[in-house]
């Protein structure tokens, strides 16, 4: 049977592996958020530039411009919704990271306590295994 210390160390290692998986997820979410924010700012820039150029337009050009404006606004809304979703997802992953880190620390603390108990037990056994002094100064007082 394995010692409790070893079990707690293995549990801490398992939590560390899980925590590292969540770190990878958080990193990918952060890069996705960055891409989404860049796209949102580009769309807003396109929309702002589009409104600045006003000249005489035919009905077909006006209809086409309104359709493109609508598409751009739709994409802006989609990127804003995606940003909200990614923010919530990032918060959930960060909570999971914190939880796994706490579990890992608790397991390491318990492993340390078990190690100390094992050392104390070994010390106690070594003290008990020493031969007792049977020569209690009998007859040696001359």
**Is the pLDDT assigned to residue 61 strictly greater than 80?**
yes
The structural domains of the chain, with segments of one domain joined by +, span: 4-51+60-122
**Is the pLDDT assigned to residue 140 strictly greater than 70?**
no
- Eight-class DSSP state of 132: P
Q: Taking residues 65-71, report their average pLDDT.
A: 90
- Dump the DSSP string for 28-61: HHHHHHHHHHHHHHHHHHHHHHHHH------HHH
Please, are residues 79 and 5 in contact by the beta-carbon 8 Å criterion? no
**Greater confidence, 140 or 94?**
94
- Give me the pLDDT at residue 72, please: 92
- Give me the pLDDT at residue 49, please: 84
Q: Give kind and range of the element (H or E) at residue 85.
A: helix 59-129
**Positive or negative, the Cα torsion across 82, 84, 85, 87?**
positive
Tell me which residue has tokens 């940003």: 83
pLDDT digit string, tens, across residues 76-125: 999 999 999 999 999 999 999 999 999 999 999 999 999 999 999 888 88
**Is the pLDDT assigned to residue 138 strictly greater than 70?**
no
pLDDT digit string, tens, across residues 9-25: 999 999 999 999 999 99
Cα(70)–Cα(118) distance, integer angstroms: 71
- Give me the pLDDT at residue 65, please: 86
C-beta atoms surrounding 101 within 10 Å: 15
């Amino acid at each position: 049977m394995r010692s409790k210390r070893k079990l707690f160390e293995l549990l801490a290692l398992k939590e560390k592996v899980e925590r590292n998986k969540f770190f990878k997820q958080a990193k990918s979410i952060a890069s996705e958020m960055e891409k989404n924010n860049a796209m949102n700012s580009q769309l807003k820039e396109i929309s702002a530039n589009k409104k600045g150029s006003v000249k005489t337009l035919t009905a077909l050009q006006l209809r086409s411009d309104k359709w493109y404006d609508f598409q751009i606004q739709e994409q802006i809304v989609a990127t804003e919704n995606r940003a909200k979703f990614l923010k919530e997802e990032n918060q959930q992953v960060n909570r999971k990271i914190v939880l796994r880190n706490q579990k890992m620390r608790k397991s390491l603390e318990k492993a340390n306590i078990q190690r100390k108990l094992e050392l104390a037990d070994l010390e106690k056994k070594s003290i008990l295994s020493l031969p007792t002094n049977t020569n209690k100064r009998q007859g040696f007082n001359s």
